[in-house]
A and B are shown apart, each in its own frame.
Chain A
Amino acid sequence: MSSYLTIKNLTVRLKNGAPILRAVSLDVAAGQVHGLVGESGAGKSMIGKAVLGTLPRALQVTSGEIWLDGVDLLSLPASERRRRIGATAALIPQDPLTALNPSKRIGPQITRRLVDILGWRKQDAEARALDLLGEVHIPDPARVMRSYPHELSGGMRQRILIASAFAAEPKLIIADEPTTALDVTVQKQILRLIGEMQARHNTALLFVTHDLGVVSKVCDTLSVLYAGKVVEEARMQRFFMRPIHPYSAALLAATPTYTNPDSSLTPVPQTVTDAVEREVREHDLRAGA
């Protein structure tokens, strides 16, 4: 099975040298959904940003390789890399309310890059956008294309962003907490929709989330991150039945249950976090040596 995204030993550091990602490796094949889970600040979003070339200016990739559809992105010159990313990868952002340009109509926000970057004819791009809006179950796509973002609901806007992400038939889609900003009732529909679209277009999907419940519904494989380091990589079923790393086990145990609403929330025990911290320090020492 060919991999659309392969990350090897990716290390990202602050300008002052402090590591944000520590030798992260992962692999997402065509048609596969790979989950990235971890606490806030574990660096899961930074992996997606490193792949898409949108790391904050204070951060830089110091070593490693990012292979996207057979090309090592980091070996390309900046403008070539940008075009390559635009043509083969796409982002489904976290907050649909801020991810659409408020001064532009929906249509051009989907079609313009197909014309500008990929050289499509305008009519083709528009037909494509109409099809995709239909695929994400938007009623009256032609009207929506003429609308401004403020005229549409959050759920609608997230559907539009999903459609837009699939517009150029990308090999890889990175979904960065795509349901976090949504209403709980909408979350489920959007999750189902992302799964549906991913299966239909046979893309590789990197799914960044802190929600293990969400992961269990959509992912085939997953990586657990702590302090910028992958502590466990597993297939879905095995992970939920028998997590290997103690941190993974603690994270799973901390998932709130609906069956016993009276029970208090279970934190990840101090002994476990201390142990992972030790592990991470040892990794840094080895890397430094």
Chain B
Amino acid sequence: MTFFRNILIRLLTTAVTLFGVAVIVFVVIRVVPGNPIAMMLPPGATEADIARLQAQYGFDKSIFQQFVIWLGGVLQGDFGTSISTRQPVAGLVLSRLPATLELSIVALVMAVIMGGTMALLGTRYRDTKTEGAVDVTAGMALSIPDFLWGLVLILLFGVLWPVFHISGRISPALNIDFTTNFYLFEALVRLRFDVLADLISHMFMPALALAIPLAAIIAQLLKQSLKETMHLDYVTLARTKGYGENHVITREALPNAILPTLTLVGVQFTFLIGGTVIIERLFSYEGLGNMAIDAVINRDLPLIQGIVILFALLFTLVNLVVDMLYVVLNPRLRHA
């Protein structure tokens, strides 16, 4: 039962965190230069027009008053209306969230597969040229940031050898009548493999660009922990029982060596989600990040607030999931 109590406590602290984020964002975007109203009006607008619009959007009130009004709406599920599109923020943001979630999760899966494979190879062939190759590859992958990998990939698979789509999330010509915006998930469930192939073709490069640096981190840390674990007594004991190297690495060492990596992946995954902002822009992928940049350019204050709150919520949820996984994987924490 303590497990559930801990989760409850975490959810409460999440609420406090979100409130703090809301306050900071709300104040900062109103203090920095740039007037949303000025963006909306034609050059010849009169003082009266400006005052009228400001009153309409509530910008004539004090920041504190504006915050209270906004918070009152949020508590009822109303995040305000986007200034640039005149649509409710909640609907806009939620319609884009699936695209970003799918991109991030695909990137995470790619990173875990690539990084995990490298770590296992490096451990299996430790102290040989193969381990050296893993180290060099990981070092290189890590020293180049995700958006540069994006450009490299566009050059490789978009220009020199054009096999993947370089922009968008899905081909507009494709006939889809999906009920949700989780296209990838829904294509899988509905067995629409034509849509699936198109989505993957669009998603491959941005996801890979996000995945490469994370894969490198996983490769380095997991290999290090695995190599340390390989010296421990229970691994030696397993060898004397007749088990071979592959079994010893994957069954004896891995379940224990994976714990520090898991913690790090949790933290790094939130960075990866942050990275989607630039990467989505680079690949014109219609997700939250792309929308965030538009919102900032248009000084669309309600939309910026909505997006930032959603990102903050995602980050805290990722951390919660990682902590729960940690308890599941580590029996020593289960009764604590």
Contacts and interface: CB of A to CB of B under 8 A. Distances in A.
Interface of A: 52-54, 57, 79, 82-83, 85-87, 89-91, 93-95, 98-104, 113, 116-117, 148, 150-151, 161
Contacts, number: 69
Given A53-B240, A54-B236, A57-B127, 7 more contacts: A82-B239, A90-B241, A93-B237, A98-B233, A99-B234, A103-B330, A151-B335
A99 B252 CA distance: 11
A141 to B, nearest CB: 19
Interface residues of B, number: 22
13 contacts: A52-B240, A54-B236, A54-B239, A54-B240, A82-B243, A90-B240, A90-B241, A91-B236, A95-B233, A99-B234, A101-B234, A103-B331, A113-B243
Q: Which 9 A-B pairs have the closest CB atoms?
A: A86-B242, A113-B241, A117-B242, A99-B233, A98-B233, A103-B255, A101-B234, A148-B331, A91-B240
Contacts of A113: 238, 241-243
B250 interface: no
Contacts of A85: 240, 242
A64 to B, nearest CB: 20
A261 B234 CA distance: 39
A91 B244 CA distance: 16
Nearest to A94: B233
Contact of A100 (B127, B234, B236, B335): B234
B252 A82 contact: no
Nearest to B330: A103
A102 B242 contact: no
B256 A82 contact: no
Nearest to B332: A150
Contact of B237 (A99, A102, A151): A99
A82 B237 contact: no
Interface string B311-336: 00000000000000000011110010
Nearest to A99: B233
A148 B234 contact: no
A52 B242 CA distance: 9
Interface in B234-264: 234, 236-244, 247, 252, 255-256
Nearest to A117: B242
B50 to A, nearest CB: 65
A102 B239 CA distance: 17
B242 A87 contact: yes
Nearest to A49: B236
Nearest to B335: A151
Contacts of B329: 103
A102 B233 contact: no
B240 A104 contact: no
Contacts of A151: 335
Contacts of B234: 98-102
A89 B240 contact: yes
Interface string B212-243: 00000000000000000000111011111111
A116 B330 contact: no
B242 A91 contact: no
B236 A86 contact: no
A82 B244 contact: yes
Contacts of B242: 82-83, 85-87, 113, 117
